[in-house]
Amino acid sequence: MRSYFFCIIWVVAVAATDSNPDATSIFNGEGCANDQLFQTRIRPQIQQLASNVQRIIDHVMSANESGRTYRQLAEFVDRFGSRLTGTKNLEDSIDYMIDLLKQEGHDNVHGEPVQVPKWTRGNEWARMIKPRDKKLNILGLGYSEGTNGQTIEAPIVVVRNFTELEQKAGLIPGKIVVYNFKYESYGKQAIYRHSGASRAAKFGAVAAMIRSLTPFSIDSPHTGMQSYDVNVTKIPAISITTEDADLFQRFSDRNEEVIVQIYSENHNEKDKGISRNTVSDVRGEKYPNEIVLVSGHIDSWDVGQGASDDGAGAFISWRALSVIKKLGLRPKRTLRSVLWTGEEFGLIGVYDYIKKHRNELKDYVIAMESDIGTFTPRGITYSGKNSTSQCTLWEILQLMHPINATTLTISTEGSDVQAFYENGVPISSLDTANDKYFYFHHTQGDTMTVEQPDDLDKCQALWTSVSYALAMLDDRLSR
């Protein structure tokens, strides 16, 4: 139930930012010239930071330092590969990070225990056996049950949406439901992956096969989390490629019977596991109890290397503190890096953190997260509606002209940091030219090949500079 609740929050949060055209807007600095507080107090402070921000950019992009984030990330993901929640491999990677952050000279380095589920992907396969034989590339979805040691063999029923599912309800008992929705955006269509199996089970389906959430595929299935409704039979939930979903649709349109076999050893273990959020600080000199938080999640799915989702976001976050340490900069507020655990299984790590740190959230200036790709940076997003705070972020971004990352987008983007937003803390996300992000998302293709050293350097420079500036201003962002 707990994981189901988190997943609902996550799907709603993504949909709110991805599908609502009014949820995002570009802030162009209009009105800042007439904002007296901004002009008389805040803007002069930002201008005084310009030289140190330039030092950060020059350092990250210098010949001696360029590519460092890429190299350290590559060493990490090459050593550990994928890092599924509840596995020893994830915990070994967290041990590695705790040791590394101590070597980097971070303050207050520690892991905060979090109870997590343990889901195992066992052997799984699927074939179409009628009207011809064809191997199907599949990936079971997170929390999906398997086939209990049996091979399911059944005809399919193809539907484009939930309305069509209801219209075909009489055809579904004993069949495998195939969802072949039209992909518009991740936020709009995530509901099919999340609840497609349960909705099909209500009509007597024996399994559900869900088109991968991607605008592009080379016969590559995309995994991800799904959740079962209460009091509904837990049928296997399988991700299939867009190519196979379209193939099934064509057969269905020609009224040709398609029979599929599915075998899956996927299962949820009864015992819970213990993971950790990885926390480290650069302690503030003037306002040590006020926190500027930068973050990404360290767990990944069990395919690929988890380099883009979200190894790179995690690495530019903790490395922001290392850059500031190395340059001898002394922020007024505490800069905190958190590498979340259990994100892919329902934002488990961040909600545990919120529960344990609730009494101090009033002192959080902003919660920043990078979890939407580290492609060429455009700027950042920001959730706050206060015009003075918007002007503050916009002015800070004008210092990013050397890397052409000056765009401020007003948005509530950010999966893990949504929990902070719900508790009144302003949130921000890295904004990049990520139109290809969902090509690789949750697939075997999420490897270091997706990452580019120069882009990572620019993201590093931006992330470090913005977090440093917010830790230096005497005036906090308004809530």
**What is the set of active-site residues?**
343
Backbone angles phi, psi at 395, to 5 degrees: -65, -40
CB 62 within 8 A of CB 323: no
* Type of residue at 147: T
Q: Residues 6 or more apart from 19 whose CB is under 8 A from it?
A: 184, 185, 187, 188
